[in-house]
């Protein structure tokens, strides 16, 4: 048994976090709705913070979804 590991997660977070990723992907619609509701001036600086408790790839996936939606809705300028 590995010490310091969460029960059942002795290998790595990425290899044991499929349920969390599934929840994130299932929440994409809600993330898009929240971003669509933002009223941002064209020159706005958008800061995105991930206050999660892990360094796993799920954090990167969440940020990827947010950036993609911001680009699609033209709420950020890709060239800045």
Residue 35 CB: number of other CB atoms within 10 A? 19
Indicate whether this model's pTM tops 0.75. no
pLDDT at 15: 75
Give yes or no for a contact between 54 and 48, defined as CB atoms under 8 angstroms apart. Answer: no
Residue 30's pLDDT is what? 94
pLDDT average per 10 residues of sequence, the chain (80 residues): 52 77 90 89 79 73 87 73
pLDDT at 9: 54
pLDDT at 1: 44
- Residue ranges of domains in the chain: 18-39+55-80
Q: Hey, how many other C-beta atoms are within 10 angstroms of the C-beta on 58?
A: 21
What is the pLDDT at residue 78? 66
Spatial distance between the Cα atoms of 31 and 73, rounded to a whole number of angstroms: 12
CA distances from 21 to 39, 42, 46, 63, 71 (A): 28, 32, 24, 13, 22
């Amino acid at each position: 048994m590995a010490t310091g590991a969460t029960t059942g997660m002795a290998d790595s977070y990425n290899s044991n976090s499929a349920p969390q990723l599934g929840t994130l992907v299932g929440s994409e619609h809600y993330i898009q709705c929240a971003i669509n509701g933002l009223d941002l001036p064209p020159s706005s600086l958008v800061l995105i913070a991930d206050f999660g408790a892990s360094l796993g790839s799920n954090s990167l996936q969440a940020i990827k979804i947010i950036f993609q939606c911001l680009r699609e809705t033209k709420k950020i300028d890709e060239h800045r």
